[in-house]
Amino acid sequence: MTRTSRVFQHAVLLLFALYALVPVYLVVLASLRSEADLFSGPLTLPWPIDIGNFRRVWFESGFSQFFVNSLMISTGSTLLVMLTAPLAGFAFAKLKFPGKEILFGLFLAGLVVPAPSVIVALYGDLQMLGLLNTRIGVILPQAALLLPFSIFMMRTVMEDVPDDLLEAATIDGATLFETFTKVVVPIVKPGLLSLALIAFLFSWQEYLLPLVVIQDETLKPLTVGAATLQGRYGVDYGGIAAAGIIAFAPIVVLFLVLQRSFVRGLTAGAVK
């Protein structure tokens, strides 16, 4: 390869790294500045670092509670997905039963269903069930909407479990459920971790469902909290920036630490 084309390629790689990073840098910068010099002066980080904005939104604007709510809602949805999708994925990959194709097709169709398209009915249903304005009312539909992707991914993962192992377990007298918990689950652990991460990521980022279901200030997750702060006190840029960082920092850290598992999960199904 010629020198110039190599330099050019490096430039392209770096340019798009900047595209990714500059907005993130901006919000970090805004979160550490006082309101007075927020968007004036040099674009360098202030020193010493002032975490006043974080302290303010965390203690005064309710973000400690929003954080706990996000954690509870995301953990709840992830748990529900983990309790249901691997079992179903295993059945679709390895077992034979009547109606299998139709059932799988039913789940597959759900891959494209957007939350806004069911909200008209879901709202009334949740109201009828007394789940409006509760965290459970977000967790249940959230998990349900995640199921198609999760089952699809789990089926792909379970297909790679060797039949011999299942057979051996059966000969040893294990029930189907024992085979699943003692033989299958240990083998597909990396796949399960990927699924858990992705379910958590998507629930953590969800905005429409909690926006619609929850009115109570003390039950809101971070996404709704940040949008409210932006709408109500649109001028407290430092505070909004700090709120935004509280809303994405945990996921960014999780992603950076467990990048391999994330990538495995995201590319599952896409590349086969």
Partner 1 sequence: MVAVFPCHPQPWDMFMYNSRQALLFVLPALLLYVAFVAVPILQVAAYSLFSWDNGSIKAFSGLGNYQRLTSDGVFWTALGHNAIWAVLTLCFPLMIGLVLASILAERSPRTIRLMSALYFLPRTIPLVVAGIIWGWIYNPIFGLLNYVLDLIGLGSLGGAWLAESGSALLSLNAAGAWTFYGFCVLIYLSAIQSIDPSLYEAASLDGAGWGQRFRFITVPLLKSTTLFLGLYAAIEAMRFFDLVWVTTQGGPGYDTEVLTTHIYKTFFLVGDFGYAAALSVVLLAIVLTIGGLSYRILSQS
Q: Considering only residues 248-267, where is the footprint of partner 1 by CB under 8 A?
A: 248, 251-252, 255-256, 259, 263, 266-267
> What type of residue sits at position 175?
T
Give least dist CB 52 to partner 1, A. 19
Distance, CA of 122 to CA of 127 (rounded, Å) = 8
For CA atoms 101, 102, 107, 111, the dihedral sign is positive
Closest CA to 240 of 42, 28, 13: 28
Name which of 80 and 196 has its Cβ closer to partner 1.
Answer: 80
Distance, CA of 184 to CA of 95 (rounded, Å) = 13
Give least dist CB 168 to partner 1, A. 10
Residue 128, classed as helix, strand or coil, is helix
Q: Candidates 44-52, 54-62, 187-195, 201-209: pick the segment binding partner 1 (CB under 8 A).
A: 201-209
Applying the rule CB under 8 A, the residues between 103 and 162 that interact with partner 1 are 103, 106-125, 140-141, 143-145, 147-148, 151, 159
Name which of 72 and 119 has its Cβ closer to partner 1.
Answer: 119
Distance, CA of 196 to CA of 264 (rounded, Å) = 12
Cβ-in-10-Å burial (0-12, 13-18, 19+) of 222 comes to: buried
CB 212 within 8 A of CB 227: no
Binding to partner 1 by CB under 8 A, coded x per residue (else -) over 42-61, reads: --------------------
Q: Candidates 44-52, 56-64, 85-93, 185-193: pick the segment binding partner 1 (CB under 8 A).
A: 85-93
Distance, CA of 255 to CA of 261 (rounded, Å) = 9
In this chain, which of 65, 72, 79, 94 binds partner 1, going by CB under 8 A? 94
Applying the rule CB under 8 A, the residues between 170 and 199 that interact with partner 1 are 170-171, 176, 180
In this chain, which of 212, 213, 219, 242 binds partner 1, going by CB under 8 A? 212
**CA 112 to the chain's CA centroid:** 17
Give, to the nearest 10 degrees, the angle between helix 222-232 and helix 63-94.
Answer: 140
The answer to the question of residue 213 lying near partner 1 (CB under 8 A) is no
Distance, CA of 127 to CA of 26 (rounded, Å) = 41
Q: How many residues bind partner 1 (CB under 8 A)?
A: 100
Applying the rule CB under 8 A, the residues between 225 and 244 that interact with partner 1 are 226-227, 230, 237, 240, 244
Name which of 48 and 141 has its Cβ closer to partner 1.
Answer: 141
Binding to partner 1 by CB under 8 A, coded x per residue (else -) over 3-42, reads: --x---x--xx--xx-xxxxxx-xx--x-------xx---
